[in-house]
Amino acid sequence: MEPLDDASPRPGVDYPGTWPEFLRWFGSDESCARYLEQLRWPKGFVCPRCSGTRAWRIAGGRWMCGGCGRQSSVTAGTIFDKTRTPLTTWFAAVWYVTNQKYGVSALGIQRVLGFGSYETAWTMLHKLRRAMVRPDRDRLSGVVEVDETYVGGDEEGTRGRETMTKSLVAVAAEERGRGIGRIRLERIADASADSLEPFIVELIEPGSVIHTDGWGGYAGLKDLSFQHRVTNISRSGQPAHEVMPRVHRVASLLKRWILGTHQGAVRQEHLDYYLDEFTSRFNRRRSRKRGLLFYRLLEQAVDTSPAPYERLAGGAPDPRITRMERRHKMLGALDQKG
C-alpha cells in the first residue's frame, strides 16, 4: 500500500537528492546495508522464519533471531541475496538506472560502472528490472483503452541469432483528459478471449469502462463486470490510431524504445522484464524527483525474491506462466459465480 502523503519520503532525509549527497550517504557497504535495513524493516528487524522481532547483530552485518536462532541478513531473500557485487556498486547502478530517462542497456551499465564483465552488468540490470514493477500494483480505472500489438520480429532491425519472433502484447492505457494516464503491458499467447480477459480482469478495476475495437476476443467483457465501449474501426471510417489514440501511441513508443535503447536485441524470454521496465518508466514519466525513484526502486528491491542468473538466462520455467495459470483459475471462479 502506498504511504499516506504525510509519511512520504523526503529528499535529503529519506533519500539523497543529488549525486554529491549520494556519495556522502553510500560510501561503504555498511552504510548501504543500514539503509536497506531501514527500508526492509522500518520498525526494526523481523525474522524471516518466525517473524520474531527480538534479535541482535552478529559478525558480518548479520542478525541472530532471539526466538528461533536463525541467522539472516538484510539482503537474504532479496535481489541482492548471495551477490558477489559490493552493495556500493549496486547502489551506484540503481542511481544510474533511475536517473536515465530512457533506460539503460547492460553495455551502458558496464561502461559507467567499469565492470570487466558484460555478464555481471547484464545480470544486475535484469534483477533490477524485476524489482521495477510492484507485484501488488494498483489496477487501472476509469476509461481504459485496450488493444493488442505485435512486438519484435526480424524485420524490425534485430540481428543475428539474438532475435525474437514476434510476440503479441496486450496494451491498456487510461484516458486522462486528452492524454494518457497509467498503462499496463503484458505478453499474451494469442488474441483470444482466453488470453485477453485474464489481462483485463487482473489489471483493471471492475466497473471501469473498457474501450476496444470490435474484435471478438473482447465480446465477453460485459459479463465480467465491466462496461464495454466498442468502436468498430472499419465502420467508424477513421484510422485506428485516431479512434484509439492512446494505445497506439503507447505501442509505438514501446517499439521505438526497444529499438533505440536495446537496439532491438530483446530475446523473447526477456520481453516480460522489458515490458515491466517500460511500464514503470512510462507511469513515472512526469516525476521530477529522480531521487524518489531511487528510493522506490531500492524499496521494491528488498521486497523482491532473488532470481538466480540461470533462471534469468532462460532454461527454467518462466514464473509468468504460473501467473497466467493463476489468472485462468480466477476467471474460472468468476464463471462459476456468474
Closest contact distance (angstroms) between CB of 301 and Zn ion is: 23
What strands lie across the sheet with 227-230, from one edge to the other? Answer: 179-188, 167-176, 143-151, 209-212, 227-230
Residue 168 and residue 187 in contact, taking contact as beta carbons nearer than 8 Å: yes
Closest contact distance (angstroms) between CB of 62 and Zn ion is: 13
Measured distance CA(138)–CA(24) in Å, rounded: 35
- Closest to Zn ion by CB, 50 vs 333, is 50
Any bridge partners for residue 179, and if so which? Answer: 176
* DSSP classification of residue 7: G
Measured distance CA(338)–CA(333) in Å, rounded: 9
Q: Which grid coordinates belong to 287?
A: 516525476
Closest contact distance (angstroms) between CB of 46 and Zn ion is: 9
Q: Which grid coordinates belong to 118?
A: 558484460
Q: Which residues bind Zn ion (CB under 5 A)?
A: 47, 49-50, 52, 65, 67-68, 70
- Closest to Zn ion by CB, 70 vs 241, is 70
State phi, psi for 250 to the nearest 5 degrees.
-60, -45
Q: Which grid coordinates belong to 278?
A: 517500460
- Closest to Zn ion by CB, 66 vs 153, is 66
Closest contact distance (angstroms) between CB of 65 and Zn ion is: 3
Residues 6+ away with beta carbon under 8 Å from 228: 209, 210, 212, 218, 221, 222
Q: Which residues of 166-179 are buried (b: 16+ CB within 10 A; e: fewer)?
A: ebbbbbbbbbeeee
- Closest to Zn ion by CB, 67 vs 207, is 67
- Closest to Zn ion by CB, 69 vs 332, is 69
- Closest to Zn ion by CB, 45 vs 91, is 45
Closest contact distance (angstroms) between CB of 69 and Zn ion is: 7
Closest contact distance (angstroms) between CB of 37 and Zn ion is: 16
